[in-house]
A and B are shown apart, each in its own frame.
Chain A
Amino acid sequence: MPQLDDRKEHHSELADGVSAQVPTTDEVQIKTPENIGGMGHRKKRKEDPRFLQGKGNYVDDVKLPGMLYMDIVRSPYAHAKINSIDASAALEMDGVLAVITGEDLKAAGDLHWMPTLMSDTQMVLPIDKVVYYAQEVCAVIATSRYIAADAIEQVFVDYEPLDAVVDPFEALKDNVIVREDKEEKTNHIWHWEAGDKAETDAVFNDAATVVKEKMYIPRIHVSSIETCGMVANYNKAREHMQIYMTSQAPHAHRTVFALVSGLPEHKIQIISPDIGGGFGGKVPVYPGYVICAVASLVTGKPVKWIEDRSENLQADSFARDYHIEAEMAADKDGKITGLRVKTLSDCGAADAAANPSKFPAGLYSICTGSYDMKAAHVEVDGVYTTKPPGGVAYRCSFRVTEAVHMVERMTEIMAHELGEDAADYRLRNFIQPDQFPYKSPTGWEYDSGNYEAALKKAMDMIDYRALREEQKEKRAKGELMGIGISSFTEVVGAGPSKDYDILGIKMFDSAEIRIHPTGKAMARFGTKSQGQGHETTYAQIVAEELGLPADDIEVEEGDTDTAPYGLGTYASRSTPTAGAAAVMASRKIKAKAKKIAAHLLEVGVDDLEWNIDRFQVKGSSDQAKTIQEIAFAAYTNHPQGMEAGLEAVDYYDPPNLTFPFGSYICVVDIDKGTGEVKIRRFVAVDDCGHIINPLIVEGQIHGGLTMGLAPAMYEEIVYDENGQNLTGTLADYLLPTAVESPKWELGKTITPSPHHPIGAKGVGESPTVGAPPAIANAVVDALWHLGVRHVDIPITPPKVWKLLRDNGVTD
């Protein structure tokens, strides 16, 4: 067995030579012909035919013989003592097999508590009190979905309401303690900081201009169209637990289940079938999953649990909920010199965020963004409230959206304060192309970037200067038009094992490729697509490397019995990690293929060169062996002394994160009468490094932009003072429809990652990160002359209407 260090060395041998500074282009690179369909081809997705014909296989489609159904009794209070649970009436109903309570889980081996991904604890089912509205109180197991739903109405719980604490600032006063189970009777969970405080304070002391703003990044919910669910199937004879589950991280979940339940890990199989959207919401382990697995263990029968939409919106992990106080400093020339940020993170009743363990505030310290500044200091405090635990991502890398929103708003405010054009101000404060790799004041090393190129391209596409002229004319006539810019820097692809782990498991990811004798291949990965198109993009990566047609490569993910171990798909990490593993595994195969080709051609390996899909004798292309011929020989005529077969596995540990970026420009017109904000145009220039499939990348960007629009203008989870969720259905929690979604105009620049083996960076979440501040900046830009400095998202018509009235606009 090679040691870890040997393997790393092997990696660097396999990686192409890359330099730190990389030129920016805007042409997608294509090296393979269309029949091979490697990188850069606009290939239709391989996974689509089954979805188009209703033949997908989602968790709720799984039906096993003798399957039982679970439904959950949930708390009507945000904070209450439980005096008793009377399930006798439910248990008397025909078809009801069991009611599982916290006491039952406790008796089964203290399963009434579970660890969160942040090493906090969270109740699976309560024993003495509930700490959020819609919290799981007990579960009914019945022979049908309908009987289970009837039976939860027949469980009588005697609650004694306690005071709720909904406002995190109020929670800090510790008048109401959320977590009485903790030794320390305080709602304050953690304090975290990054950057140099003294240096930052000094920069602020020397500043010519300081701008300050408070902003709230509201609690929102991913609300994938498929809710969460599970089918747990315990086989007593085999002592084997098979689980179908809506999981973005099936391997990590298997390990968590093994650690929590005590079942041996080789006796647990997790299958994450087709997933109807994840966006971060299917990363955590929710109480419902644990109860469902226990129910199958207890009954010895398959048990299905599928959330309904209200349960999903009310009890599953939320995203964001950051209360930010930011200050930005500039010198006498207007150059940004520093950033000072204090943030309160409302965690709800448990710190159940899905961040790497060492990062309680995720990658929030990326908040200096695309701007070169001397110093920055960021502080974040986590606090408990009587609201559902979280927070997960909402189609974004760990807390990057919050950081980008803040810095893009602050830069905009600074530009306005100094009377400068928002685009010109950014251009003169950007980190310059020759500064990469760039060391940020909070400790990041940005891999590559060319921020100026992206912004200039966006300005050209939208004809920025003409828009500013139009705005002047409109303003003279009293019309409200705004232009908003966001020049964001993303940070994705977690991550290098020295810093990144989840519950101690390092955040590498994996690929295993087997080439069959007839030259067809099976490729398996530790990630799990939820719509991103992995079956196509991974096949294209392997096609690029090995010359096998992408259509001849079957990609499989999600079954822990067959796929290599990996940490899963979230935070735009699949391409940076498993995509790189696909390259490395392919290159290992290619190294062996070369030896086989040399054997077949009776030449030395050094006499051979690779040409798209074959090894050929240097300078003599008629003497060649295709990858298919080599694959056949690997099983029929391999060299003596060499192992038969043609396969490889790779666990890729990235040397750094990747830093995708982009510049977005949004134009809005505001109706003075109603406060309605109309997005007239939205240009998005993204740079995600080398592009694997332009069609899929466009789709990812469109989707991400719409999930940026959503919190900017429509979505917010709202609670009343008693902690009741007022937005518990899709009639109250407003997802944008096709009518609200603008026609997105896309552009691109390509600045490859210097450390990723194919120069790719990841793209699925950049637009979710970049879009909200572009929209917010456009609205404030339209209203600045009236005295408006800031408006919190979601920017709804009532909010704008009030701002207009408060600032003297009456017509």
Chain B
Amino acid sequence: MSEHEVTLTINGESVTRSVEARTLLVHFIREDLSLTGTHIGCDTTSCGACTVLMNGKPVKSCTVFAVQAEGAAVETIEGVAAGGELHPLQEGFWEKHGLQCGYCTPGMIMTAKNFLAQNPNPTEDEIRRGISGNLCRCTGYNKIVEAIQYAAEKLQADAGGE
């Protein structure tokens, strides 16, 4: 199996590693970079637990090779709380009880982060469609929707206040 050098930025930090061509991005993030907040739930791109942002867009990192991320800016859950302060999404999930076992939560938050960037003032139905690529088995989604609404409002208020 051929080895390749990959250079990318992860949560703003540049890293270079040598990987097998077939190494999945999710394994690269979890094993090579020891960032275990990104989870694996299905291996078939169905559940979204492994969602990370690649150049701002959500990807299911179990279906991306690490070599495909060459030169990309990758953001994982570990990079979301800027300066140690919880992001409005993290705050919303906490306030509204948008998580239970916590396993789907990182992927859910990464998807929601991109979704709110695209649609800062969404309807409930738009939120539900926006996160429909991420499965949660614990919450029944109602409180995840509320958490994203909370974050949308807070982000809007923050933007308006500047």
Give every chain B residue within 8 A of A60 (Cβ-Cβ).
30, 36, 39-40
Query: Beyond A54-B36, A54-B76, A276-B102, is A702–B109 a contact (Cβ under 8 Å)?
Result: no
B96 (CB) vs chain A CBs: closest residue: A695
A810 within 8 A of B: no
Taking a contact as CB atoms under 8 Å apart, the answer to whether A696 and B97 are in contact is yes
Q: Do the beta carbons of B140 and A45 come within 8 Å of each other? A: no
Which residue in A53, A533, A739 is a CB contact (below 8 Å) of B128?
A739
Q: How far is the CA of A53 from the CA of B44 in the complex (A)?
A: 25
Residue in B31, B42, B43, B141 whose beta carbon sits within 8 Å of that of A741 in the complex: B141
Establish whether residues A276 and B101, one from each chain, have CB atoms under 8 Å apart when the complex forms. Answer: yes
Interface check A476, CB cutoff 8 A = no
- Would you call B66 an interface residue if the criterion is a C-beta within 8 Å of the partner chain's C-beta atoms? no
Query: B81-96: contact bitstring with A at CB < 8 Å (1 yes, 0 no)?
Result: 1000010001001110
Known contacts A44-B94, A741-B142; is A731 also within 8 Å of B100 by CB? no
| A698-B97, A744-B140 as given contacts; A146 in contact with B102, CB under 8 Å | no
Contact among A53, A225, A309, A698 with B77 in the assembled complex (CB-CB below 8 Å) = A53
A738 touches B94 (CB 8 A): no
Which residues of chain B in 22-81 are interfacial with respect to chain A, using CB atoms and an 8 Å cutoff? 22-23, 27, 30-31, 34-44, 46-47, 49, 76-78, 80-81
**Distance to closest chain A CB from B23 (angstroms):** 8
Q: How many residues of B contact A (CB 8 A)?
A: 59
Residues 659-714 (chain A) with a chain B CB within 8 angstroms: 695-696, 698-699, 702-707
Q: Verify A56–B46 contact, CB threshold 8 A.
A: no
> In the bound complex, do residue A531 and residue B138 qualify as a contact, i.e. CB atoms below 8 Å apart?
yes
Q: Are B41 and A737 in contact (CB under 8 A)?
A: no
A802→B134 CA distance, assembly (Å): 31
Instruction: Given A52-B109, A277-B101, decide whether A699 and B143 contact each other with a Cβ distance below 8 A.
Output: yes
Kindly state whether residue A624 has any CB partner on chain B within 8 Å. no
Closest B residue to A276 using CB positions: B103
Asked if B138 contacts A277 (CB within 8 A), the reply is yes
Q: Are B94 and A225 in contact (CB under 8 A)?
A: no
**In the complex, per-residue mask of B12-23: 1 if CB is within 8 Å of any chain A CB, else 0:** 000000001011
Tell me how far the C-beta of A387 lies from the nearest C-beta in chain B, rounded to whole angstroms. Answer: 22
Is A497 in contact with chain B by the CB < 8 A criterion?
no
Q: Is A196 an interface residue (CB 8 A)?
A: no
B39 and A731: CB pair below 8 A? Answer: no
A55 close to B (CB within 8 Å): yes
Residues of A contacting B42 in the complex (Cβ-Cβ under 8 angstroms): 308-309, 729-730
B139 at interface by CB-CB < 8 Å = yes
A342 at the interface (CB under 8 A from B): no
At the interface, yes or no: B104 with Cβ under 8 Å from chain A? yes
Closest chain-B Cβ to A95's Cβ sits at a distance in Å of: 11
Interface flag for A186 (CB, 8 Å): no
A146-B22, A702-B139, A737-B135 known; A531 vs B102 contact (CB < 8 Å): yes
How far does the Cβ of B87 sit from chain A's closest Cβ, in whole Å?
A: 9
Residues of B contacting A54 in the complex (Cβ-Cβ under 8 angstroms): 35-38, 76-78, 106
Q: Is the CB of A225 within 8 A of B41?
A: yes
Q: Is B44 a contact partner of A706 (Cβ separation < 8 A)? A: no
Chain A interface extent, by class:
35 or more
Say yes or no for A561: interface residue by CB 8 A criterion.
Answer: no
Q: Which residues of B are found within 8 Å of A698, using beta-carbon distances?
A: 97, 143
In the complex, the answer to whether B140 meets A52 with C-beta atoms within 8 Å is no
Contact of A730 among B27, B40, B97, B135 (CB under 8 A): B135
Contact call B44/A703, Cβ cutoff below 8 A: no
Looking at the assembled complex, report how far the CB atom of B32 sits from the nearest CB atom of chain A, in whole angstroms: 11
Let me know if B145 is at the binding interface, CB within 8 A.
yes
* Pair A52/B99 contact, Cβ less than 8 Å: yes
Residues of chain A contacted by B34 (CB below 8 angstroms):
63
Report the separation of the CA atoms of residues A279 and B136 in the bound assembly, to the nearest whole angstrom: 13
- Tell me if A65 is interfacial: C-beta within 8 Å of chain B: no
Residue of A53, A58, A702 near B143 (CB, 8 A) is A702
Q: A45-B94, A532-B100 are in contact. Are A226 and B139 (CB under 8 A)?
A: no
Known A-B contacts A55-B37, A729-B44, A730-B135; A48 and B99 likewise in contact (beta carbons under 8 Å): yes
Q: Which residues of A contact B86 (CB under 8 A)?
A: 49, 52-53
B10 contacts partner chain A, Cβ-Cβ < 8 Å: no
Closest to B44 in A: A729
* Chain A stretch 188-236: residues in CB contact (< 8 A) with chain B: 222-227
Residue pair A738, B127 in contact (C-beta under 8 Å):
yes
Contacts of A223 in B (CB 8 A): 137
Which residues of chain B are within 8 angstroms of A743 by Cβ–Cβ distance?
A: 124, 142
Residue of B nearest to A529 (CB): B101
| A730-B47 in contact given A63-B34, A225-B41 (Cβ < 8 Å) | yes
Residues of B140-161 contacting chain A, CB below 8 A: 140-145
For B131, give its contact among A45, A310, A706, A738 (CB under 8 Å): A738
A531 — which chain B residues lie within 8 A by C-beta? 100-103, 138
Query: Which residues of chain B come closer than 8 Å to A277, judged between CB atoms?
Result: 100-101, 103, 137-138
Are A52's CB and B94's CB within 8 A?
A: yes
Residues A51 and B102 in contact in the complex (CB < 8 Å), given A58-B39, A225-B137: yes
Query: Which residues of A have CB within 8 Å of B127?
Result: 738
Instruction: Give the docked Cα–Cα distance between A306 and B41 (Å).
Output: 11
* Partner among B39, B93, B128, B142 whose Cβ is within 8 Å of the Cβ of A702: B142
Using Cβ atoms and an 8 Å threshold, which residues of chain B touch A706? 139-141
Interface residue? A424 (CB, 8 A): no
Set of chain A residues within 8 Å of B94, measured between Cβ atoms: 44-45, 48-49, 52
Contact (A45, B44) CB under 8 Å given A56-B37, A702-B140:
no
What 1/0 flags go to A238-271 for Cβ under 8 Å of B? Answer: 0000000000000000000000000000000000
In the bound complex, how far is the Cα of B97 from the Cα of A532, in angstroms? 11
- B132 at interface by CB-CB < 8 Å: yes
A530 within 8 A of B: yes
Min Cβ gap B126→A in Å is 11
B39 touches A226 (CB 8 A): yes
A145 CA to B30 CA, complexed, in Å: 13
Min CB–CB distance A276 → chain B (angstroms):
3
Roughly how many angstroms separate A222 CA and B137 CA in the complex, as a whole number? 9
Across the interface, A52 reaches (CB within 8 A) one of B105, B132, B135, namely B105
**A224 to nearest B CB, angstroms?**
6
Q: Determine which residue in B22, B37, B124, B145 has the highest number of CB atoms from chain A within 10 A of its CB, and name it.
A: B37
Contacts of B80 in A (CB 8 A): 53
Q: Are B93 and A735 in contact (CB under 8 A)?
A: no
| Closest residue of A by beta carbon distance from B80 | A53
Q: Does A61 contact B (CB under 8 A)?
A: yes
Q: Which residues of chain A are near B133, meaning CB under 8 Å?
A: 737
- Whether the pair A735, B106 counts as a contact (CB closer than 8 A) is no
Cβ B78 vs Cβ A703 within 8 A? no
Bound-state Cα–Cα, A56 to B38, Å: 10
Contacts of B137 in A (CB 8 A): 222-225, 277, 279, 703, 707, 735
A353 interfacial contact with B, CB 8 Å:
no
Q: Report the minimum CB–CB distance from A322 to chain B (whole Å).
A: 22
Bound-state Cα–Cα, A369 to B139, Å: 27
- 20 A–B contacts from the bound complex (CB under 8 Å): A45-B97, A49-B86, A52-B81, A52-B102, A53-B81, A54-B37, A58-B103, A146-B23, A223-B137, A225-B39, A225-B136, A309-B47, A699-B100, A702-B143, A703-B138, A704-B140, A706-B140, A729-B42, A737-B132, A741-B141
